[in-house]
Each structure stands twice: as structure tokens, then as C-alpha cells.
Amino acid sequence: MSNIMKMISNAIWTPLYFLLFGLGIYFTLKTNFFQVRKFKFMLKKTVGMIFDKQQSTDKGAFTPWQAVATSLGSTVGTGNIVGVSTAIVVGGPGAIFWMWIVSFFGMMLKYSEIVLALKFREKNENGEWCGGPMYYIKNGLKFPLLASLFSILLVIAALTAGNIVQINSIALILEDYISVPSLLTGVIVAFIIALVVIGGMQSIGKVTEKLVPIMSIMYIAGSIFVFIVNIKYIPGAFASIFQEAFKWESIGGGALGYGIFAAMHYGIARGTASSEAGLGTAPIAQAASNLKEPVEQALYGILEVFVSSMIICTSTALVILTGRIYDKDVYGNAILNFGLNGLKNLDHGVVLTAKSFASAMGLPIARLFVTLCIIFFALSTIIGYFYYGLKAIEFLFAKKSAVIYKFIFLAAIVIGSVIDINLVWELSDISDGLMAIPNLIALIFLSPIVLTETKKYFDKRSQ
């Protein structure tokens, strides 16, 4: 069953990766490399406005920073630690170069999603802003059936990738490192999430605006410490990234190995997953902002991809490549000779990341540090995806169905802490991929609106 689902997942995602990549290139070219030309302006209107007291919110909206924190919290998850490790181990150091490339173009993909999300959002019966792909598909594309399909797939993704996968990561690492029973972890996390979400969107916004900066700064600071201790290995790490990105030959001349195609595949996959650009999740939180101007809120989307992919994922990559645990020849030959089974006797995933941090911190401190980071990253993802799933349920069945959804979501946390999630992983990949399809259809057909809104905004500023 798992192999069949894996084949289905690959069949969906292989063309999707390149469609997402291509659409990001399209928006970049049509806006004349907006993410480069307006980068300074973006920082001024996002980071420069975080402490602006005039951004106070009301009951029906997030502040712009709360919106991006909720969105960034769901984007920065365990994949920023474990996923990057997997990309390097299976795709080689060159995968990081292709992650940078797809993330660079993904900035404009996410920017476009958020412009449309604010352009076509609407208020519910409680006066709360609601937006995202389901609303710009319904109101912009005029295709309500496709909007409902997106919402159904989003609920599945929220319960699997955004919930069960995340809690399982927390439970496994706590049981392995400090012998906390998985079921106890599930119950405690469910209780914490219940406390956060019971207060509604204002409670979610207040938690994420504090949790996301703390966890991001903590992880980046720990990575910088490793860079300083291992500074003499930094040039070699960057050299391996660029050299392996364009290496045509596989190790030993075999079909498996680290050639350019493996690097591209895993780099594009990691860049897509770390930015979530094109999947349609981030604009749901961003649409709840109290900003009225779509372009100004969309600038936070560029910042989000920059932080998640260019800073946090790159930090993980450089820690691994300077930690001297990973050896590209050893790992490459293991995969060449035995496929992914060759990794059974080698450190990979969270273990490789923790041991790489240990090269500078020592193993006990590194394990504690990585454990805390995974817990924070996973918690923020669970909170973010709870909100996404809630908005999808409201779109499908109105707000009165929220109570049932909350119960199911909290129950899934407890169940997810103790089950074997191999099939859940595959199901989450499939639902994510299928969810991206209606969103990409909308982005293609509504792309003129993104370009018009962007031009109109800057023409108005110039006047």
C-alpha cells in the first residue's frame, strides 16, 4: 500500500515541482525581478513596520505581523531541520543551490497568492476577514466547485501534514532522547493547542507573533555559533554546494548518485516545501490582515520565503556541511550501492543535524537544542495549520461547524503521537500536491490581476 501511494505521490509532484518553478519564473520576469528591485522597500514596509503602534488590530483581523507570523509559523516546521538533511543526504550538497533558486522565484509566487487573497477576501458573519485560494477561486475565477475541492484537500492536509506528522516528530524525539511516553506527549500538546485556539484568531495571532520570532532567532543564533566554531570549513561548504549543483556524472557512473538531476529534484522539492509557495496555505493567514492594500501585505510573503528558505534552511545546510559528520562520498556510495537502504547504517535526518550541531556544542547540548527547536517548529506548524483547516471548514460548512473540527483536530494530535505514520506521510504528500493544482489554475488565469494591482500600487506611490 505504501509503495502504491508513493508512486501516486511521485506522479503528482514530479510535474508539479516544475510547474511551480516555471510559474515563479513567469511572475518574476513579468514584474522585472520585483523581489530584487523592491527588496529594500520590502524590508522597510515589513520589518520596519513591526513595532508600528498604528498597526493595532481589531476583533476581525490580524495585524500584518500577526498574519505573517501565523503563516511563517506553519511554513517553518520540522522540514527545515529534517527535510534539509534529507535533501543533502539523498540529493547531495548541490540540492541546496537548487533550493535557493526555486525559493528565489517562489518569492514572487507567494507574493502573487497574497495579492489575490486580499483582493478577493470577504468578511464572515462575525466580521472576520476570510481569504485564500478558496475565495479567489470562487470570487475571481468564478469556479465555486473547484474552491470547495481545494478546501476539502486543505482540511486533509491540515490533519495530516500540519498535525499528525508534526506531533509524531515531537513524540518520537522526546521518547528517544528523554524517555517521555508518546501518548503523554500527545495529550500535553493537545492541551497546549486547545489553550491557544480556544480564544479564536486573536489568541492565535498573539501566540504566533511571539513564538515565531523567538524560535527563529534561537535557531539562527545556534547556527551562527556553529559557523563561528567551524569557520574554516565555511568556504569548503559553499564550494561543495556550487560544484555539486552542476555535476553531471553520478558517483561511480551509476544511475543513483549525486548528479545534477538528483540535486535538482531534491533541491526543488525542499525549496517548494520550505516556502510553501504555490500550495495556497500562506495567503489564508495573510488575508486576515487589517491592511487594506494587497501589495503591501504581499510584501510580507517575500519576507516569509526569505526567512524560511534563504535563512533557516540555509543555516541547517551549512551546519551539516561544516559539522564534519556528513561525507558526500561515503553517503553517495552508500546510496549508489544499496539505494536508500544504504542510509540505515549512516546518520541521517534529525540525528545527522543534531550531531552536526554537536561538532561545536557537544552532543548533550546539541541534542537538547535540536529537540527544543523541533518542538517549537512543530508547535508553530500545528497552530498555523489548525487555522488553515478551520477557515476551510468555515468555507465549506459555515462557522457553526468549527466546534466539530476543533474536536477532530485535537483528537488527531493524541492519535498521531502513537501511530505509525508512514501511510500518513504519503497521504499528506498526495493531499498537498492535489491541493496545489486548483491554486495554480487560479494563479495562471488570475495572473493579469496580480500584475495590474502591482502596477496600480506603485503608480499611485509615484504620484
Give me the helices (H) in 198-248, please. Answer: 200-229, 234-245
Please answer whether residues 193 and 382 qualify as being in contact, where contact means their C-beta atoms are separated by less than 8 angstroms: yes
Please answer whether residues 97 and 245 qualify as being in contact, where contact means their C-beta atoms are separated by less than 8 angstroms: yes
List the grid coordinates of 36: 530584487
By CB atoms closer than 10 A (0-12, 13-18, 19+), residue 427 is: buried
Q: How far apart are CA 100 and CA 270, in angstroms?
A: 9
Please answer whether residues 384 and 66 qualify as being in contact, where contact means their C-beta atoms are separated by less than 8 angstroms: no
Domains and CATH numbers, the chain: 16-49+64-462 (1.20.1740)
Q: How far apart are CA 115 and CA 187, in angstroms?
A: 39
Q: What are phi and psi of 62, to 5 degrees?
A: -85, 155
**Interacting residues of 205 by C-beta distance below 8 A, sequence separation 6+:** 57, 62, 63, 66, 67, 69, 70
**Interacting residues of 161 by C-beta distance below 8 A, sequence separation 6+:** 385, 428, 429, 431, 432
List the grid coordinates of 52: 508600528
- The β-bridge partners of 129 are 123
Per-residue pLDDT of the chain (463 residues; tens, 9 = 90+): 557 777 887 888 888 888 998 999 999 999 999 999 999 999 998 887 766 644 555 566 788 888 888 888 878 877 788 888 888 888 889 889 999 999 999 999 999 999 999 999 998 877 888 999 999 999 999 999 999 999 999 999 999 888 988 888 888 888 887 888 999 999 999 999 998 887 777 788 888 888 888 899 999 999 999 999 999 999 999 999 998 888 765 444 444 445 676 777 777 777 787 788 888 998 999 998 888 899 999 999 999 999 998 999 999 999 999 998 888 888 877 777 776 677 777 877 788 898 999 999 988 899 889 889 988 888 989 999 999 999 999 999 876 778 889 999 999 999 988 887 666 767 777 888 888 999 999 999 999 999 999 999 999 888 7
| Three-class SS state of 62 | strand
- The predicted pLDDT at position 340 comes to 67
Q: Select from 226, 219, 239, 243 the least CA-distant residue to 322.
A: 226
